Amino acid sequence: MRPPPPLLLTMLVLAAARPGCEPAWDPEGACSRSVAADSATCVDLQLQTCSDVTYNRTAFPTLLQHRTRAAVESSSEYILLSVLHHLLEGQCNPDLRLLGCAVLAPRCEGGRVRRPCRHVCGALREACQPAFDAIDMAWPYFLDCGRYFSGPEEGCYDPLEKLRGGLDIEEALPSGYPPTFIQFTHHSYAQMVRVLRRTAARCAHISKTYSIGRSFDGRDLLVIEFSSRPGQHELMEPEVKLIGNIHGNEVAGREMLIYLAQYLCSEYLLGNPRIQRLLNTTRIHLLPSMNPDGYEVAAAEGAGYNGWTSGRQNAQNLDLNRNFPDLTSEYYRLASVRGVRSDHIAIPQHYWWGKVAPETKAVMKWMRAIPFVLSASLHGGDLVVSYPFDFSKHPQEEKMFSPTPDEKMFKLLARAYADVHPMMMDRSENRCGGNFLKRGSIINGADWYSFTGGMSDFNYLHSNCFEITVELGCVKFPPEEALYTIWQHNKEPLLNFVEMVHRGIKGMVMDKFGKPVKNARILVKGIRHAITTAPDGDYWRLLPPGAHIVIAQAPGYSRVIKKVIIPSRMKRAGRVDFILQPLRTGPQKFLPGSRRGGLGGEPQEPDQEPLGARRQPTTGGSKPWWWSYFTSLGQHQPRWLLKY
């Protein structure tokens, strides 16, 4: 059982001295004492955990009948708020803390208490309940939306308004400039959000923004999407994602994706046939900043002053590109066994027992929700394109060529970027990235340097997605005057790379009645890596030019084999459909695979592996792992957090 951080022990001991409003006596789980009256005497708010709320005056007694500041600080409710972001590993932070503060330290204005809005509480509970369920924790009684919150007609307020931090305030473009104007500057988090939202509003018929989750410090991981039908997966339309700023101090990728979003919108509206064709046939998702918290650290130092590592990690001091499950080691083990499936490898249970960043969880959940085909992660520090595997097949070797079964396709993807990048093709060996010149400015990741827990290896081994890593330059935080040149160097490579999603084959897998067969396997002879069909039965298989034997396979059906020839100049995916016939007699036969318990069978469907899987198992009757945070509270332990 993991002990609580030492810094919390003093707070826990103090909390044992005095109880808060305990609901244990109420069969419905709520305190039997009445709530505070609306009229009150306002006093200064001096609670450390609630120091960043949008108001500075509170009142006693509180909504939980705490009559003094000391009573609040020693309560189990207050202790919970101070440790909740650790228990949920950053999920719903700081939203839950701010919501809880609105109850423990109610807002006081003009001698009256203003309650938080019920609809805000309800929306947050719907979003955050899975995080509590994942660690077997009950929803806190004092966040009962019906008891301690009110409606707009009663003058409620939104306790989460600060999280927007001015994001809804529109910044006007410099006078005289058209809407298509792109400002080649560094963007703060608030500026980035405003630009993306403004861009989505200009191109509302082909674009929308959405959040895939929150960073540890509570910033939205905002994505802008481009598609002929934004917000939905279209049959046979491939999905592409581009991710920037996974390391907070590597900022060029963040800016390139902000510029790319504006460029795609403007050029579509201007009638650019290439961009219109691309957006009408492809669904593109841009996540400019996967690590907005780290960026804030780097930006505080500024361009030209930023250290090589300042802001690299997230707010938990985790390197996000070392935080994904190590499936590559498992792949090497499985690959040595004949006939065993080595794709779509499950996340090992022990992975969840460690520290998993909320940003990492958000990206993995994103990958589960959308059938991505192609991806690129934009970095800084060198000038080269690398591709999987990033982890050496011999762990002791720091540098060792370690190809995937799709080595040929990955080299084509990497070259699609490097071959049209003017600086990557510059013949000078003295330039940034000159040491990769003889390799064509592309390299197998493990042949450069080996590391585990990378995002690209995870994409390939856990899903259908092929991801490359692009190092955009030797300066991680370039000066503002360099940004336009960097954009000019990378605009065409980015477009050329995205267009590569249409290489290979695509199609439908159906049964004899025309019903789609989801999770069917598409195999290619000579390439030991299968992809699977999406829920609607459609699939995309990136393949290099040449002749290929393609097999469609699903449990309970006979396999279907087709020969496919892909011409070298073919730039649109060939349509190859499969109609599977049910097996007539005898037991089901299908290709062997790697189950959790041994050989044979199909892997568990991805959506059956909870991303919030508890990090330590509980055994019959024992308390969950997080109970150790509250053991020193004695008789005032928050038993209302226990589900059973």
Mean pLDDT by 10 residues, the chain (644 residues): 46 43 39 48 90 90 91 91 82 87 92 92 89 89 93 91 59 59 92 96 95 92 96 95 97 98 96 96 98 95 76 96 97 91 94 93 96 98 97 86 97 98 91 91 96 97 98 95 97 98 97 95 97 97 97 96 94 95 66 38 38 46 82 84 86
Q: Could you give the CA distance from residue 224 to residue 211 in angstroms, rounded to a whole number?
A: 9
- In a domain? residue 27: no
Residues 201 and 61 in one domain: no
Q: Give the residue ranges of DSSP H helices in 419-503.
A: 445-448, 455-462, 483-499
- In a domain? residue 29: no
Q: Are 215 and 293 in contact (CB under 8 A)?
A: yes
Q: Which of 582, 609, 638 is the last residue of a domain?
A: 582
- In a domain? residue 365: yes
Residues 356 and 340 in one domain: yes
Domain count for the chain, please give it.
Answer: 3
Residues 136 and 196 in one domain: no
Write down how long the chain is.
644
Residues 226 and 324 in one domain: yes
Q: Which is nearest to 285 in space by CA: 159, 372, 387, 380?
A: 372
Q: Is 198 helix (H, G, I), strand (E, B) or coil?
A: helix
- In a domain? residue 24: no
Residues 230 and 335 in one domain: yes
Beta bridge partners of 242: 286, 376
Residues 511 and 452 in one domain: no
Q: Are 116 and 156 in contact (CB under 8 A)?
A: yes
Cβ contacts of 579-585, under 8 Å, gap ≥ 24: 579/510, 579/511, 579/512, 580/509, 580/510, 580/511, 580/512, 580/517, 580/520, 580/552, 580/554, 581/511, 581/512, 581/557, 582/511, 582/512, 582/556, 582/557, 582/558, 583/556, 583/557, 583/558
Q: Is 628 exposed, middle or buried (0-12, 13-18, 19+ CB in 10 A)?
A: middle
Residues 440 and 525 in one domain: no
Q: Could you give the CA distance from residue 218 to residue 59 in angstroms, rounded to a whole number?
A: 27
Q: Could you give the CA distance from residue 22 to residue 325 in angstroms, rounded to a whole number?
A: 40
Q: Which of 502, 536, 559 is the last residue of a domain?
A: 502
| 471 is a catalytic site residue | yes
- In a domain? residue 354: yes
Residues 391 and 435 in one domain: yes
Residue 87: the pLDDT is: 85
In this structure, are strands 594-595 and 598-599 parallel, antiparallel, or unpaired? Answer: antiparallel
E strands within 178-250? Answer: 207-214, 220-226, 239-244
- In a domain? residue 339: yes
Q: Which of 502, 521, 551 is the last residue of a domain?
A: 502
3-class SS shares of the chain: helix, strand, coil, % to 5: 35, 20, 50
Residues 351 and 315 in one domain: yes
Q: Are 640 and 23 in contact (CB under 8 A)?
A: yes
Residue 138: the pLDDT is: 93
Q: Could you give the CA distance from residue 570 to residue 576 in angstroms, rounded to a whole number?
A: 15
Residues 567 and 426 in one domain: no
Q: Which is nearest to 206 in space by CA: 237, 234, 230, 232?
A: 230
Please name the residues in contact with 217: beta carbons below 8 A apart, sequence gap of 6 or more.
90, 93, 94, 292, 293, 296, 315
**Of 225, 471, 499, 602, which residue is the catalytic one?**
471
CB atoms within 10 A of CB 260: 24
Residues spanned by the domain of 85: 41-165
- In a domain? residue 494: yes
- In a domain? residue 546: yes
Phi/psi of residue 273, each to 5°?
-65, -35
Q: Is 623 exposed, middle or buried (0-12, 13-18, 19+ CB in 10 A)?
A: middle
Q: Are 315 and 565 in contact (CB under 8 A)?
A: no
Residue 258: the pLDDT is: 98
E strands within 438-545? Answer: 442-444, 466-473, 505-511, 521-524, 527-532, 538-541
Residue 179: the pLDDT is: 66
Query: Any idea what the CATH number is for the domain that residue 99 is in?
Result: 1.10.2000.10
Residues 111 and 215 in one domain: no
Residues 50 and 81 in one domain: yes
Q: Could you give the CA distance from residue 55 to residue 107 in angstroms, rounded to a whole number?
A: 7
Give the single-character DSSP code of 640: G
Q: What is the pTM of this model?
A: 0.79
Please name the residues in contact with 256: beta carbons below 8 A apart, sequence gap of 6 or more.
244, 378, 472, 486, 487, 490, 494
Residue 498: the pLDDT is: 98
Q: Give the residue ranges of DSSP H helices in 482-608.
A: 483-499
Q: Is 272 exposed, middle or buried (0-12, 13-18, 19+ CB in 10 A)?
A: middle
